[in-house]
Structure 1
Amino acid sequence: MVASFSSCSSVPALVIVFSIYLSTFALGEAGDNGGFSVDIIHRDSLLSPFYDPSVTHFVRLQNAFRRSMSRANSLIHSAISPLEVSSQVVTDNNGSYLMKMSFGTPPVERFAIADTGSDLIWIQCKPCEKYYKQKPPLFDPNKSSTYRNLSCKSKECDLIAGEGRVCAPGTNDCKYSYYYGDGSSTKGFLASETFRLGSTSGRSVDLPNKIFGCGHNEGGSSFNDRESGLVGLGGGPLSLISQLKSSIGGKFSYCLVPFEKENVTSKLNFGGEADVSGDDVVSTPLVIKDPTTLYYVTLEAISVGNKRLPYKNSSKGVADEGNIILDSGTTLTYIEFDFYRNLESEVKKLIHGESFVDSEFFPLCYEPGIDVNVLVTVHFADADVKLKPLNTFFRRSKEAVCFAIVPYPRVVGVGIFGNIAQMDFLVGHDLEEKKVYFKSADCSKH
């Protein structure tokens, strides 16, 4: 949906609904390492506020693939040219998952994009200069007893670098500007506020004095009228993960349900609830590099059946460290074009049927009914992840079943491990140990 932008005077008269929880606990009371879990909702699921029953499942998939390509372009540009990208330019905001989050005292509940490729937490606020029309009313900081603007002299304001940080005349409050890779933007005041997350235990989690952007000027075309903002889950200093780092031991994990389970929520886990353990767990080093927002790991090879294909840098003869980004917001998995051609060739050898190219997105598809169940193993450094059939091929339309790993159209030196490849895996991030864990799971039951 293309957002519509208006002046504040055109805000419709709506009733504000407050989500007030009778049973709450502070993060320090949530268990070992502040352990708790929250629901996250795929934006195309039956449970999503975006769900449109008049749109077919396959059209929703097509929309997801278009968003995926836009997001991939943004992520890869940020990864390969971190010095060329302005410090306040961040990746495409059009993530795949939503979470409920309450802001202020008394708490006002909102849906926001949960994004592992972004850092700043922000919502639209009153008074506004320009905003995209959202169905929930704008957040009014004057009605919250716990809201306060941050000073330009604060250490938090220093985290907004370069031209993205401005001191407000007269008050010396910290103003921010963030520009997304798709051309959208948010501008406003950097502030502190109490957040509240509704955990899966039925008790809500209070997060006092957390930093967020109170947006007074939003622009661009990718925002939806049911979104109120964004919750950054990336590795940068202003993300929710970084702000909670000491309380949750630097741990978070998620378990993404497959697309066809449209009435089931996925889970986002923090602290003690984010532990990934068991005999079948594998782990790979988390590679820290610019931009620190993104989660990099090293892809060494991909096997098809018993055929192992090394993922090498052509000049070095070995895999580059941190050559692929783990991203829950990108639908497909993107790899180097030359490597993809070899991978596709090996997949075709094991499938008995005529393949075809379907649309601009998918170079390897088959008619439904053809057995496309081939074993694909992704070899990260120290971790072999055996993909399931749902991670490799999916029903794109009534006429096509397509490979979910696709080539990036040019040589870029970095790939993206997208959310189809991660579905029905418990994926854990430990920022203290600098590791990522994978465990096969039924995410609808996790």
Structure 2
Amino acid sequence: MKTFTLLFLLITIISVCLSRPHHDVGGGGFTLDLIHRDSQLSPLYNPANAPLDRLQNAFLRSISRASRLLRRAGFASKIEADISGVMGEYLMEIQIGTPPVQVVGVADTGSDLTWAQCQPCKYCYKQTGPPFLVPSSSSTYESLSCESKPCLSLSDNQLFCDANNLCHYKMGYGDRSYSLGDLATDTFWFGPTPLKNVVFGCGHENNGTFSEGASGIVGLGGGSLSIVNQLSSIIQGKFSYCLIPYFSETTNQTSKIHFGSEANISNPNVVSTPLIKKDPPTYYYVTLESILVGNNNVSKKQSSSKNEVHEGNIIIDSGTTLTFVPREFYSDLSSRLIEAIEGESVPDPQGMFEICYKDLNIEKVPNVTFRFTGAEVVVPPVYTFLAVQKGISCFTVVPSDDMAIFGNLLQRNLLVGFDLVNQKVSFSPTDCTTNMQ
């Protein structure tokens, strides 16, 4: 009996130790890989696509994603595009459950609820690679009731209750893609770091244009059900990412996403701008005050009661490749840019971009500086102009008549940090191929 008691105590001690957060979480931080969907490390990688094909596909996804974000924000989108795989451009590998099961989720700063496909699955999209979650196989899985706080945080059109008073969610994505399932909690593993009672969606019916290589979505938005807000007491509402150059020759490297203490940005080159609270709270709104071309030519709204700069007129989004700026900014921006560039202007073969050049000498193209409130972000021409086909380069900033988006192409080699407690986003020029903190 004593042997049994000692064995029981030993198992209990081991179990408690394993359930405690990794020592880094004691300091409030951990780091994960962000894998670009077109990277050779990605389960979505298609070796049949040439680099230009991948870039064109990213542009098309960008336009489709912008349409989805606009609709979510309440705008009647004027963008007509087939929406396919537009949850985001980066993947995160995490684990869910006890014992842990691998999940490859699309990291999405434009979504809050994290969800993954679960068995039994009534109607599910084909999933290759990682296995489906099986709730009955996890000893830490718990369904949530309709009176639970997470359930009540869903909007009326996102939830319904069954006869047993269990909470079910439904997320729609604009192209009639959707995920429907149980709202639940389980232990999430971020690398070796276990965190208990994380709310997520266990999807039993998921259909549409989701990517086969991904299990679901990892929600990194600003809403209450996002991973960032759920883990706020541990990570202090902080996360940051550093995106390696789009066509990095280093194929075995990934971008990084940092949480908590490892997301701190502290160097002399950091600039910060306030986050603006608007609906939907998912998005990270900031205020774009003006745009500088080179050193002198400024594109901005003229200050008047009719045309003053509106707070929160652009969102920071890692899942959109292109950058969309307000139309009134774009008119001046394009004219100043054309004045500064000596080159042969040509139409975009795909009809997507307004400013394109043949055999562009990138060394003669000026920097473009985005002037947010309190923060100037300088973007070199290697990210503002990209080759869309051999010999033709186009300006990757396009006009928007509604909500504007600061996309991930212009965030390359920037350490971008979000602080949801102090309501600010920070930028620091960084060589992201060496940012391994």
Structure 1 length-normalised TM? 0.87
Contact 2:240/2:415, CA 8 A, preserved across alignment? yes
Say whether residues 1:143 and 2:137 are aligned partners. yes
RMSD between aligned alpha carbons?
2.1
Cα distance in 2 for residues equivalent to 1:416 and 1:27: 36
Contact 2:289/2:371, CA 8 A, preserved across alignment? yes
Say whether residues 1:370 and 2:358 are aligned partners. no
Q: Over residues 57-87 of structure 1, what are the superposed CA-to-partner deviations in whole Å (9 max), with x where a residue is unaligned?
A: 11111111111001111212333549x9xxx
Alignment-mate amino acid for residue 346 of structure 2: F
Cα distance in 2 for residues equivalent to 1:150 and 1:24: 25
Please say which of residues 129-138 and 187-196 is displaced more in the overlay: 129-138
1:334 aligns with one of 324, 338, 355: 324
Contact 1:392/1:404, CA 8 A, preserved across alignment? yes
Q: Partner of 1:390: helix, strand, or coil?
A: helix
Say whether residues 1:427 and 2:421 are aligned partners. no
Q: Provide the aligned length of Structure 1 versus Structure 2.
A: 407
Alignment-mate amino acid for residue 35 of structure 1: G
Partner of residue 122, structure 1: 115
Partner of residue 405, structure 1: 397
1:96 aligns with one of 71, 89, 94: 89
Q: Over residues 123-143 of structure 1, what are the superposed CA-to-partner deviations in whole Å (9 max), with x where a residue is unaligned?
A: 000111100010133211111
Could you tell me how far 1:246 is from its partner in structure 2? 1.4
Pairing 1:112-261 to 2, within 5 Å after superposition? 112-135=105-128, 136-169=130-163, 171-198=164-191, 204-220=192-208, 222-261=209-248
Partner of residue 272, structure 2: 283
Say whether residues 1:348 and 2:341 are aligned partners. no
Could you tell me how far 1:348 is from its partner in structure 2? 1.2
Q: Partner of 2:145: helix, strand, or coil?
A: coil
- The verdict on how the C-alpha distance between 1:335 and 1:35 changes in structure 2, with shifts beyond 3 A counting, is same
Please say which of residues 38-47 and 392-401 is displaced more in the overlay: 392-401
Q: Over residues 355-397 of structure 1, what are the superposed CA-to-partner deviations in whole Å (9 max), with x where a residue is unaligned?
A: 1221222111112352353121110001111112233112222
Larger radius of gyration: 2
Q: Partner of 2:382: helix, strand, or coil?
A: helix
Please say which of residues 365-374 and 147-156 is displaced more in the overlay: 365-374
Contact 1:32/1:271, CA 8 A, preserved across alignment? no
Q: Partner of 2:106: helix, strand, or coil?
A: strand
Partner of residue 387, structure 2: 395
Structure 2 length-normalised TM? 0.89
2:46 aligns with one of 38, 52, 55: 52
Partner of residue 272, structure 1: 261
Percent identical: 47
Partner of residue 321, structure 1: 311
Cα distance in 2 for residues equivalent to 1:73 and 1:32: 41
Partner of residue 5, structure 1: none
Cα distance in 2 for residues equivalent to 1:52 and 1:154: 42
Contact 1:92/1:180, CA 8 A, preserved across alignment? no
Partner of residue 12, structure 1: none
Q: Over residues 154-203 of structure 1, what are the superposed CA-to-partner deviations in whole Å (9 max), with x where a residue is unaligned?
A: 1111112213211111x2211111111232100000010111112xxxxx
- The verdict on how the C-alpha distance between 1:33 and 1:301 changes in structure 2, with shifts beyond 3 A counting, is farther
Alignment-mate amino acid for residue 386 of structure 2: F
Could you tell me how far 1:314 is from its partner in structure 2? 7.6
Partner of residue 19, structure 1: none
Contact 2:273/2:286, CA 8 A, preserved across alignment? yes
- The verdict on how the C-alpha distance between 1:55 and 1:346 changes in structure 2, with shifts beyond 3 A counting, is same
